[in-house]
């Protein structure tokens, strides 16, 4: 396969550069109807996103246009390691420790944390990443609850599946590993937050739309939520992966949440390891090759 590399994200302005290519590989650039139609007009018939999530691609428009699309898989270890790191940072109040230390306040006031062994950790979503998180959490000796529409026998060895209502009401810590779907939109909203334990800690390394950002801000301000660690955020497109130094952020939820001392915000970096990036690039190319050869493609979605 001949590769044509471009530094800029795919857009209407540069889509013409794909002319003559059967396949196009993108990362998280929004690919809406107008862009799909333009790519199709350039001869592109398969769109591969170098990510597990594909909610940035208008699949309905792709189907109607005749464009095929697929995602990729990569090692679950990168996100799983990161999620557990965020859990530990949240329960040990690491952000507050950093802030106080930076101001040369080395007192222990307000820094007493807790240990995972004494906690009930809920894992929402038990796909490859969720299962990898559960395997890691089991080593800490905590009680683990799990929720998924499709239960897995491997999970039952180290966690107990419960309905979503029970997951919300019994978890001291809740880590999200669910896809972004219409059904999961604002999985954690005002109603869900009201049913959770006082002082609950929320961790999200999945998709920003799973949490209602402004509802979470209210719950943090009231003390209902004790802390959060968020690697993804609602409406992060156009903000994350760009330098906005000196600008007012055009995302009120993000601006609010990152200002709280008990909220850790990172810019969608959980996946970003040498192994995952290698997997993403390799599997995107392999997916394009399989499509172009008319062979069975495990990553093809439409």
Secondary structure (H, E, C), 135-157: HHHHCCCCEEEEECCCCCHHHHC
**The residue count for the chain:** 302
| Token pair for 208 | 């920003």
CB 50 within 8 A of CB 27: yes
Q: Which residue, among 232, 225, 170, has the nearest Cα to 202 in the 3D structure?
A: 225
Half-sphere exposure of 281 (CA within 13 A, CB side): 8
CB 142 within 8 A of CB 120: yes
- For the chain, report the end-to-end CA distance as a whole number of angstroms: 22
CB 227 within 8 A of CB 261: no
Q: Is 236 assigned a catalytic role?
A: yes
- Residues 205, 82, 187: CA angle, nearest 5 degrees: 20
Report d(CA 81, CA 75) in Å as an integer. 11
Q: Which of 68, 177, 207, 234 is catalytic?
A: 207
CB 188 within 8 A of CB 167: no
Q: Which of 258, 268, 286, 293 is catalytic?
A: 268
Q: Is 8 assigned a catalytic role?
A: no
Report d(CA 216, CA 212) in Å as an integer. 6
| Token pair for 168 | 């919300």
Report d(CA 228, CA 60) in Å as an integer. 34
Sequence-separated (6 or more) residues with CB below 8 Å from residue 185: 209, 210
Q: Which of 50, 68, 177, 236 is catalytic?
A: 236
Give the residue numbers marked as catalytic.
207, 236, 268
């Amino acid at each position: 396969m001949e590769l044509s590399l471009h530094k800029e994200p795919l857009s209407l302005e540069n889509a013409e550069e794909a002319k003559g290519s059967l396949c196009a590989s993108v990362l998280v650039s929004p690919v809406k109807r107008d862009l799909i139609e333009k790519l199709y007009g350039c001869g592109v018939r398969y769109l591969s996103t170098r990510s597990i999530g594909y909610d940035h691609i208008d699949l309905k428009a792709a189907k109607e246009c005749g464009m095929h699309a697929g995602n990729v898989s990569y090692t679950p270890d990168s996100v799983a390691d990161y999620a557990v790191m965020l859990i530990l940072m949240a329960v040990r109040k690491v952000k507050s420790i950093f802030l106080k230390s930076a101001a040369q306040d080395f007192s222990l006031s307000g820094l007493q944390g807790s240990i995972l062994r004494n906690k009930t950790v809920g894992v929402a979503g038990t796909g490859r990443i969720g299962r990898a998180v559960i395997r890691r959490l089991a080593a800490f000796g905590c009680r683990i609850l799990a929720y998924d529409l499709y239960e897995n026998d491997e999970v039952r060895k180290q966690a107990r599946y419960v309905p979503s209502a029970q997951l919300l009401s019994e978890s001291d810590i809740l880590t999200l590993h669910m896809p972004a779907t219409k059904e999961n939109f604002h999985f954690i909203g005002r109603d869900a937050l009201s049913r959770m334990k006082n002082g609950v800690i929320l961790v999200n390394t999945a998709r920003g739309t799973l949490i209602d950002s402004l509802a979470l801000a209210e719950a943090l301000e009231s003390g209902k939520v004790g802390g959060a660690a968020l690697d993804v955020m609602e409406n992060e497109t156009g903000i994350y992966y760009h330098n906005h130094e000196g600008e007012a952020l055009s995302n009120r939820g993000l601006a609010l949440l990152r200002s709280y001392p008990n909220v850790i915000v990172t810019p969608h970096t959980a996946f970003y390891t040498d192994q995952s990036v290698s997997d993403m690039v390799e599997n995107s190319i392999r997916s394009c090759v399989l499509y172009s050869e008319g062979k069975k493609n495990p990553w093809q979605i439409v």
